[in-house]
Each structure stands twice: as C-alpha cells, then as structure tokens.
Structure 1
Amino acid sequence: MSETASSGQDARIAARAKEELGFSRWWQVAAAAVMMGLVSPYQYVWSSIQSPLASSLEISPEAIGLVFTLFVIFQSGSQFPVGWYRDRHGPRRLTLLAGVLAGGGYLGLSVATEVWQLYLLYSLGAVGVGIVYTVAVNTALKWFPDRRGLTTGVGTMAFAGGSALVVPYVRANATAAGYPTVLQNLGVVIGLGILVGAVILRDPPSGWLDGLDVDGDGEQATETDDSSTDGEPAADGGATGDTRQFEWREMLGTWQFWVMYAMFVGVSAAGLMLTAQIVTFADALELDAVTATASATVLPVAGGVGRLVVGDLSDRIDRERAMAASFVLCGLGVVGTVAFARAGMAIPFVGAVIVATFFWSPQYTLFPSVVGDYYGREHSSANYALLYSGKMWGGVFGGAVVGWFVGVASWSVAFLVGGALAVLAGFAALLLRPPQ
C-alpha cells in the first residue's frame, strides 16, 4: 500500500472512531497507557522490595522467591477469562475490579505479617495487573487496526517504563522499616488511577468499520459474518479486507499458534529471568551496589523504549523478521551480561542489560500485533490471552528453574540457558506465515 493510500486509510478510520467516541481515539490509548504504568511496579520493582520483605517477615530466600512465580502465574493465567469476558461485555467493570485488586494488594502487603498473606495478596494484585494488561493491549488492537504495532507499543512501553519513575524511590526506602510506607503510597496511587481510567475506556461497537474504504483502493470492505472481511491488517502490517475472524478454538487448530506459544515461553524465560534476578545476579558475581541499582533502573526504561520503537518499526516492515532480529539480539544481550559480569566490567554489563531488555520487551508488542494480523480483531482479547499464558512457564523458569540451575551449576549457566532460549525463539520466527 502506498504512503498516500495508507494516510488516507488512517484518516478514515480515525474519523469513524471519533464519530463513535465523540473524541480522538488516542485518548483510549492514553488512558490504557497510564494504567499500565501504574501497575508496572508489581513486575519491575519486585527485585527491589523482596529483600526488605524477607527480612521483616523472616522468610527464607526460597520462600520469598515463590512470590514472583505466583505473580507471573496469576497475572498470565487470569488473562484468558478476562479477555473472553471483555470481548463480550466491554472493559469497564473489569477495570474497576482491577483497581480494587491491584491497589488493595499493595495496601495489604504493607501490613502483612505471615508468608501466606504475602502469597495471597501478591497473587490478588497479580490478577488486577492481568486485567489491566489485557484490557490495555486489546484497547489498542480494537481501536487501531491500522497502527497495531505502534499503539500496543505505547501501552506496553508504559508497563515497562512506568516503574522506572519509582525505582529510585523504592530503592532509597528499601528497608524493613521503610517499605510499608512505600507500598501504602503506591497502593493508593494505583487504585485511584485505575478507577479514573475505567471511566474513560470503552470498546468500539461490532461492525464499526462497515462500509469504510479501509483498503485505500476504492473498494469498500464489508462484514457479513465471522469469516468475512472487515478491513483487518494483513501479516505485513498493512490493512486488507481478507482477514478471517478466528475464535480461540479455531486459532488453537493452527500450527502457527503453537510455534508462537513456544517462542513466547522461550523469550519470556530469558526476559523474566533478567527482570527478577538482575540485582541478585549482579551481587552474586560481586559487582558493586551502584551497578546493581543502575541495572534495575535502566531495565524498565530500555524495555519501554524497545516496545515502542520495535513496535512502530513492525508496522512498516515484515513483522516476522522484526521478531527474529529482536529475539536473537535479546539472547545475545543476555549472554553479554554473563561475559561482562564475570570480567568485572560494570559499564559494559549495564549496556548488555539495556540491549537484552530493549530487544526482549518488544515481544509484548509484536505478539499481540501478529495475533491481530493472523486471527483478526473481533476476538483479539481472548486469542492473545491464550498466547500470553505462555508467560506462566517463562515465569517458572525465571524463578524456580533459575534457582535450581544456580544450585546444581551456577548463575552463569542459568543466564546462558536463558539467552539460548531467546535465540532459538528468534530463529523460530522465520517459520511463521499467515494461516490459510
């Protein structure tokens, strides 16, 4: 599609969205992005608060390590039922519930006195994070069939980068005496912010693009049933009128889904290992505290920028090749952290963390975009939620499996295995093509 035709198509879809909303569709993405930023500390600040929590509650490292695994399981596992409900009933009630769970989770943690309370509260907060995540990502997919990569990049960038604003604050107060106040403050901000976002978010009505010349070629795309055309983007990121609207059962019958699922597990394993263990890894290899803090701070920033940059780029080039390049570079970055940490090279080590995270995080932009490209927009919430469940197994690797590797081998071996999984996922992306 020519640049002129693409611009005309964008304008037509934007005008139709404004007719439905009464204001620019970008406000939907902005609200979703703010909520994503608010819940991001659950994932990206955990490495900074687990030590004071463990000290305060007198919990062993093995017991406290289970918290992050539970977070990933509940955050990922909640998304399919959330997506299924949202596709049928809209985002508002779910988002209100998310505000209560995510905000209340941190408030409860601030007064927790037993390890089971820690597990329960972090898991409930994780469900709130899962609701916000699936609502936010699919808000972009539903309102921006023409700019999937960019708009999912905006939301997922906020999830990665938002926590960078609070990492220094958390690290400065990461003591047994200081963390309760930190958690209370974060809980109030998270809860109120999500409740405000719930008022703004809504989904487009079914068939809202009917009659639009979304192909930019003078032909109108119409929608007659679930398998008809409705102006969905093709696998190259451009909009066409021939994408079938797959339901989740149909999607499971395609080999492409299972290749992507394996890829999602592999890349998640590398990235979540890095996210959950980077401070402990740096300490274990005797890097100084400044390097460990710098790594924890730049990690979400690099992840946020990577999601936006690579997501926008994938709207312009072949998405499968973008995935391949991104995941291979992620794996090489993880390998670099091992090499530089063992050599005691602090600045290159932080640089390797940046590279690994910059190219890992785009998985959360690229995968939902490809799901929309391959399987359509109508059932995107449930479809992507099924793929996203692969994050559970990545979380198990990043927590429990890494702990096992450290016990039987070393930190270096654990990180090298994670890097290899990301590289394999990158090569697997070259096998992908749209389902027939």
Structure 2
Amino acid sequence: MSGDSSSVDYAGRARDALGFSRWWQILAAAAMMAAVSPYQYVWSSIEGPLAESLEISLPALGAVFSFYVVFQSLSQFPAGWWRDRSGPRYLTFLAAILAGGGYLGLAYATSIWQLYVLYSVGAVGVGIVYTVAVNTAVKWFPDRSGLTTGIGTMAFAAGSTLVVPYVRANATVGGYQDVLRNMGLGILIVLLLGTVVLRDPPSEWLARENGAEEDDSDLAASLRGRAYKTTEVLRTWQFWLLYAMFVAIAGADLLVIANVVRFAEAFGFAAVVATASATLLPLAAGVSRLVLGEVSDRYPRKYVMAGSFLLAGVFRFGLIAAGETDAEIAFVGLVMAAMFFSSPLYVYFPAMLADYYGAEFSSSNYAVLYTAKVGGGVIAGTVAGFLVAGFGWVSTFALGGGLAVAAGLAALVLRPPAGSGMGDADPDAAG
C-alpha cells in the first residue's frame, strides 16, 4: 500500500487478541467460501437430473438460479449489520443450518416450489458466509486487505472445482439424492467448524501506541481506525460511483460466466472449445483474485482497478474478433484473460470501501454495495436475452466490453471522501 503502516504491528496485536496467528481466520473463511460455492457453480450439473426425476422442464428450473442471485445478494445487508454489532459466531451457525439444510432438503424435494424455497433458503446462508468471510479479511488485515480478500473470493470461485468431478460422475436420476445429501453434510460440518474459529478483533486494537498522533494522512481509513457508518457512507458521491461501477463490471463478468458456452456455439466452434472455456473460466477467475489482490496492496488501488477493468473490456472485444476469425485456441485464451481481469472486482470493491470508509462497519457497508450484483445479474440475464434475440451475440458481448471499459475509466475519477483525513492532496493514498 502507498501508506506506511509500519508503526503498528498488526500481526503481533492480532496474535495477542486471538492467541494464535490471524491467518487462521483467513483459512477458516476460505474453507467456508469453498464449502458453499457449489450453490453458484454446481447448479448446472444437478439441474438436469432434478428436472428429469421430478418431471419439470428446464426453463421452469431457470428461475431457481435467479432466486439464488437475489437472495444471496440481498441477504448480505442484514447479515453484515448483525455481524458488525454482534460478531460472526452465531451468524455463521445460522448460515450452517441454512446452507447445509438447503442441499439436504433438495435431496427430498418433490415439487418445483420446494426447489425454489430450498435453494433460496440456502442462498441466504451463502450470502451470510460471503459477507462474513470477505469482511473477516478486511477486519483482521487492514494492512493486506487486497491479498486476504482475494484468498477468500478465490476459494469461492475455484472451490467448487474440488467437487465438480464427483457431482458430474454421480448426479444421475438415480444418484443425485446421495450427491445432494453428501454436499449438504459437507457444508454443515465445515461451517460449524468455522463458528469455532471465527471472531472479530477488539474495537481498540488499531489504536496508535502511547496515544501517538503521527502524521498518517496518507493511510487508508481502516489503518487509522476511522469508521464510517452506512448512513454516512451513503451521503458520499464516491459510494454511488463505486455502486455504478459495480453494476457495470458485474454485468460484464456475469455475462461471460452465464453465456460463454452458447457464445462459442454461436460461432460454430467444436464442443471441446466450449467445454474448455467453461472449465478454465472459474480457474482464471479464482487465480486472478489472489494475484491482483496482492498487486492492489502494493500499488495505488484505484489505478490497479482501472487498468484491470480496461483490460477486461479489451479482451471481451478480443473474444468477438476471435469468434469472427475462427481462432479457437485464441478464443479459449481470451475467455481466461477476460475473466482474469474482471473477476477481481470482488476483491477491489471491499478493499477500496475499507480504504475510504474504515473496517469497523465494513460488513454492512459492503453488503449495501454488493446489492449492485443484482443489477449485474439483470444485465447478464434479462438484458442479454433481449439483445441476443434482437441483435445477436456479437452486440451482446460488445455491451459487456463497453461496460468494463466504462468501469475502468470511472475508477480514475475516484478520490477519498472529503474530510476523511486521507490527504486530499494525495488521491492515490487509497491504494
């Protein structure tokens, strides 16, 4: 980071408060994120057997995933509000019951309305885990929030790769119930273990030693112990610009995730190209969150964010060019590149929010910002469907490229909130 935080031994203070290394908090958070990731990344592998067994059409099941996105996103504000005030333990226990119970219940579902309810209930558990895990990194690592947030969100993106082979091999009409039960039990056990490990730092742990009043105008708000409540955050224009950026880049990101297979098929590529693109996509997304999260800790965060989103847009336009020139290998590579630079949005935004507004109320503050994912989902779903029907896939993916470029350019306008003490003369201090 651009500010010198060496005057405070964060690792030592954390060890005094916990009795063990603060990295165990990140390990627990990452394990929880990996455990609930099948809700987002494995659904496509189980919906077929569910539809066939229950005699439900696949289009009717499409609403299940829509409910997931809405409930996973909107559950985070009440969860974040609770966590900031009461800590993560009881909240994580509730998440274990909801997320584990959701999959266990699906194994015994007999009608479509039960699928809707159970997946939505599980989605609330996923939303709780997500806000708890991300903000565990922000609260315990104000000096390395980019890297540690990246570890958790990488686990969410790539964690499901551990179970996908098992699911695809066993999610048949006769075997999917065992798959759902086993995943439900796995989620329940991992999250219950998380309740034992997770806790929040004491409120005074960031205080400067001996009451020193050093010149820290170039430090992020979270490093200085400055805390903005959500009502204060909502009164700053920076938050609303971040919100618009989140909608735009999430739309671009989800558009590729949801449609890359059909996009490849639209160009007449071989099935292996579509399969490779879909398989490598979450890997690129996960690795990027760790790599670029660390980069954003070492260099001014807003410029890393701007460059990342601009490249994400450029590579999306490259996807179109690869498709139109029948460049199959280039297409797969560009899918990975496009996702590598857009997926760290889930690292940049919570870290930037803590830079600007502090870590004490980071859970509720980021939960409000995270509702922008719903807007991104509308772009990737409803808007994309309209554009494909009226103008085709090229125009649809061009929209994604344009949204990513717009988010990158908007990042260059960002600067710390007035009166934040971060040094208005040095707008790069947020990094």
Q: TM-score, normalised by structure 2?
A: 0.90
**Contact residue 69 and residue 396 of structure 1 kept, 8 A:** no
Q: Tell me the residue number matched to 1:367.
A: 349
Distance 1:435 1:87 in 2: 22
Q: Which amino acid aligns with 1:23?
A: F
Matched, 1:289 2:271: yes
**Contact residue 67 and residue 119 of structure 1 kept, 8 A:** yes
Q: Tell me the residue number matched to 2:114.
A: 117
Pairing partner for 1:234 from 220, 227, 230: 220
Distance 1:409 1:362 in 2: 30
- The 3 A distance-change label for structure 1 pair 54 and 273 is farther
Q: Which amino acid aligns with 1:212?
A: E
Distance 1:174 1:332 in 2: 38
**Contact residue 47 and residue 58 of structure 2 kept, 8 A:** no
Pairing partner for 1:250 from 223, 232, 247: 232
| 1:16-415 → structure 2 map (5 Å cutoff) | 16-212=13-209, 220=212, 233-234=219-220, 241=224, 244-415=226-397
Distance 1:295 1:51 in 2: 21
Distance 2:175 2:259 in 1: 22
Query: For 1:361-388, what per-residue CA distance to the aligned partner results, in whole angstroms no more than 9, with x for missing partners?
Result: 1111110011000001111111111111
Task: Find the residue that maps to 1:203 and give its secondary structure.
Answer: coil
The Cα shift of 1:404 comes to: 2.4
Query: For 1:53-73, what per-residue CA distance to the aligned partner results, in whole angstroms no more than 9, with x for missing partners?
Result: 344444445433222221111
Task: Find the residue that maps to 1:315 and give its secondary structure.
Answer: helix
Distance 1:221 1:39 in 2: 43
Task: Find the residue that maps to 2:184 and give its secondary structure.
Answer: helix
Distance 1:401 1:55 in 2: 29
The Cα shift of 1:399 comes to: 2.2
**Contact residue 206 and residue 223 of structure 2 kept, 8 A:** no
**Contact residue 68 and residue 399 of structure 1 kept, 8 A:** no
- The 3 A distance-change label for structure 1 pair 337 and 64 is farther
The Cα shift of 1:136 comes to: 0.4
**Contact residue 305 and residue 348 of structure 2 kept, 8 A:** yes
Distance 2:351 2:172 in 1: 41
Distance 1:384 1:179 in 2: 36
Distance 1:24 1:191 in 2: 25
Q: Which amino acid aligns with 1:179?
A: Y
Q: Which amino acid aligns with 1:105?
A: G
Query: For 1:174-206, what per-residue CA distance to the aligned partner results, in whole angstroms no more than 9, with x for missing partners?
Result: 544443333222222111111111110000111
Gap runs ≥5 in structure 1: 214-218, 223-228
Query: For 1:379-435, what per-residue CA distance to the aligned partner results, in whole angstroms no more than 9, with x for missing partners?
Result: 111111111110011112222322222222323322221222111111111110000
The Cα shift of 1:234 comes to: 1.8
| Count of aligned residue pairs for this structure pair | 418
The Cα shift of 1:173 comes to: 4.0
- The 3 A distance-change label for structure 1 pair 319 and 41 is same
Task: Find the residue that maps to 1:378 and give its secondary structure.
Answer: coil
Distance 1:73 1:2 in 2: 36
**Contact residue 102 and residue 125 of structure 1 kept, 8 A:** yes
Gap runs ≥5 in structure 2: 419-431
The Cα shift of 1:331 comes to: 2.0
| Aligned-CA RMSD value | 2.5
Query: For 1:83-110, what per-residue CA distance to the aligned partner results, in whole angstroms no more than 9, with x for missing partners?
Result: 0000000001111111111112122223
Residues 253-262 or 201-210, more deviating: 201-210
Residues 145-154 or 271-280, more deviating: 271-280
**Contact residue 2 and residue 299 of structure 2 kept, 8 A:** no
Distance 2:337 2:278 in 1: 14
Task: Find the residue that maps to 1:369 and give its secondary structure.
Answer: helix
Task: Find the residue that maps to 2:298 and give its secondary structure.
Answer: coil
Q: Which amino acid aligns with 2:118?
A: L
**Contact residue 75 and residue 129 of structure 1 kept, 8 A:** yes
Distance 1:36 1:264 in 2: 21
Distance 1:246 1:394 in 2: 26
- The 3 A distance-change label for structure 1 pair 294 and 109 is farther
- The 3 A distance-change label for structure 1 pair 404 and 60 is farther
Distance 1:421 1:198 in 2: 39
Residues 422-431 or 66-75, more deviating: 66-75
Distance 2:17 2:307 in 1: 38
Identity of aligned residues (%): 59
Q: TM-score, normalised by structure 1?
A: 0.89
Distance 1:172 1:331 in 2: 36
Q: Tell me the residue number matched to 1:216.
A: none
